[in-house]
Structure 1
Amino acid sequence: MREKHSTPTVELFVSPEGYFQELVQKGLSQRKVQTFPMVEAYLVNLLQHYLDARNLHDPAYASESGARNPQTLAEMYLTAQNAESFVKAEMLRKLGDRTLYISGFFGDSLSRKIIDVDYYAEIGGAAYASLAHCTREDTMARVYTVFSDRFLEFVDVLTYISHHSFIKSDESILRLYERYMRTGSELAREKLEEMGVLTLPQDQVKLGKQS
């Protein structure tokens, strides 16, 4: 009887960060947006952060002080301008990042509202510009200036990523990946592979949990 020889299947592991990096590079290329590596890295971190939709919203009240958090974009911007330096930088970064992400991923719904993408771009661009002025680190100041001056270009990049990937605001690839590594769930593995994230074989996952 002839022996059957099966060709071994090699599965490569692509980290969530690597997955998002490929998306960002493809989006920049497709939209013909030229920039430098720190801006690419910033966009990758942005995508990872906002995969958890809870990061798009602040609670109505600050947990420690009990003071009411600003709820509108204008309130956030004005509050940031009057805050102490560290708090100011954090609020401006959050405002810039949030308006950029929402404009890219939810721009279609914004176009049907009174507050449209142009308003988000105006507030977000102003937040990044102010952040660039109060940031001491030269490289990050340059990154924020790029986003301020070319806000709508990067909205287009995120919109492209939104339309040509499996990223959804209500599903976290990171959480799926962690679930697969923790439990070896076949369902989690299948969903990850549908999204383009190749996973380690289960025997290697089990071996990693034992070591």
Structure 2
Amino acid sequence: MKKSNSSICLEASLQAYFFDELRRINQKRQEPLPDLSIYYSSLVMDRFSLSNQYFEKQEDGRVREKTLGIKLLKSEGLSESEKRRELRDIGDTALFLCGYFSNSINEKIIDINYYCEIGRTAYRKLDSYQESFYDYKGFFQHFSKQFHELTNMMSLLQSDCNLNEEQFLLFAKDVS
């Protein structure tokens, strides 16, 4: 009987799996990022494991990708609580898109630098409306500076998982 190289991964939750894997990748870096940044990134990855969080419904009921640049512009006219929610969603979506789905961006007209800048800008703006995250003042300002490193780690994790975007979306659709 031939032995399989595949293994079963047992974790308490998908978020715990993402945290452990991102932390493993982070520990191999010359200058590891703080665990709180890894933790927040794992929360983002867990959230977007459900496709309804990644996409938005149009008025006609069709589903499409979020238009992050337009959402960022429109966020200026929102109340403070709505702005906080919207900026976090924009930043989180850009982080996930530039990290986990970075290969799919290469097929778009707009390059990855555009989406990275949208994400960093959203997090910087969010910092002025949400002063702390788990008692860490200036967390989102600091997080925006780590955006590139975090997306690289997510991309490495995606490669390690041997999942492509279509498999992930099929899995996410089944879960929702």
Range class of TM-score, shorter chain: 0.7 to 0.9
Aligned to 2:37: 39
CA gap of 1:31–1:51, structure 2 versus 1, over 3 A, is: farther
Q: What's the RMSD between the two structures over aligned residues?
A: 2.8
Distance (Å, rounded) in 1 between the aligned partners of 2:60 and 2:123 = 24
Aligned to 1:180: none
Larger Rg over CA atoms: 1
Cα pair 1:96 1:128 within 8 Å, conserved: yes
What secondary structure, in the 3-state scheme, does the structure 2 residue paired with 1:158 have? helix
CA gap of 1:112–1:31, structure 2 versus 1, over 3 A, is: farther
Distance (Å, rounded) in 2 between the aligned partners of 1:155 and 1:40 = 11
* Structure 2 residue 153 is the aligned partner of structure 1 residue 160: no
> How far apart are residue 120 of structure 1 and its match?
0.3
The amino acid across from 1:112 in the alignment is E
* Structure 2 residue 102 is the aligned partner of structure 1 residue 107: yes
> How far apart are residue 148 of structure 1 and its match?
1.2
Q: What is the TM-score of this pair, normalised by structure 2?
A: 0.77
Cα deviations by residue, 1:58-99 (Å, 9 ceiling, x for unpaired): 111399xxxxxx952221001112110000000000000001
Q: Which of 16, 19, 32 is 2:17 aligned to?
A: 19
* Structure 2 residue 141 is the aligned partner of structure 1 residue 137: no
> How far apart are residue 137 of structure 1 and its match?
2.9
Q: Which of 113, 118, 121 is 1:123 aligned to?
A: 118
% same residue? 20
Query: Structure 1 unaligned runs (5+)?
Result: 1-11, 64-69, 176-211
What secondary structure, in the 3-state scheme, does the structure 2 residue paired with 1:115 have? coil
- Which structure exhibits the higher relative contact order, with contacts defined as CA atoms closer than 8 Å and separated by 6 or more residues? 1
Distance (Å, rounded) in 2 between the aligned partners of 1:31 and 1:119 = 25
Query: Structure 2 unaligned runs (5+)?
Result: 1-8
Cα pair 2:25 2:153 within 8 Å, conserved: yes
Aligned to 1:49: 47
CA gap of 1:59–1:31, structure 2 versus 1, over 3 A, is: farther
In the comparison of the two structures, how many residue pairs are matched? 158
Distance (Å, rounded) in 2 between the aligned partners of 1:140 and 1:78 = 27
CA gap of 1:33–1:154, structure 2 versus 1, over 3 A, is: farther
Q: What is the TM-score of this pair, normalised by structure 1?
A: 0.66
Larger fraction in strand? 2
